[in-house]
Structure formats: structure tokens, C-alpha cells
Amino acid sequence: MKTTGLTYNSRKALMNNIGEAAGTEIANLISQMAAEIEELRRTKVSVTRIVPGNEDRYREEYVEEPV
């Protein structure tokens, strides 16, 4: 199984430069984000349109405006 997150040297460098508590917190956050990204990549589903020619109509009906 592939491990995600920072190496020991990277964690140590963070802790030495910004403090142990903050370095640990940032390293843990990075590890959690890396694991979540890996999970999203693993469960990604590709969508293939099966009806040709309806792409323009679909886009017009379901356009969301930015908030």
C-alpha cells in the first residue's frame, strides 16, 4: 500500500522552523489532504454522453450562475 503524506525529514523541518505544535498540525493536515485526494482519484467516475448532438441543449438547461 502506498503511503501518503510527508517524509520524516519534511516533518522535522516543519517542526524546527515553525514550532513543534504548528509543524505537527500542518503535517497532519497535509497527510489527511493527500489521503482524501488519493481517495477521490480512486473513486472517480468518468461520464460518457450516449446521445450525440444533445450536448448544447444540456449545457443551456443546466448552467449555474456563480454566487
- pLDDT digit string (tens) for the chain, length 67 residues: 456 678 999 989 999 999 999 999 999 999 999 999 999 998 887 777 777 665 555 555 555 565 5
Q: Taken in order 7, 33, 47, 57, is the CA torsion positive or negative?
A: negative
- Spatial contact of 64 and 56, defined as CB atoms under 8 Å apart: no
Q: Give pLDDT, residue 25.
A: 93
**How far apart, in Å, are the Cα atoms of 40 and each of 20, 24, 31?**
30, 24, 14
**How far apart, in Å, are the Cα atoms of 22 and each of 6, 25, 28?**
15, 5, 10
Is 0.85 surpassed by the pTM of this model?
Answer: no
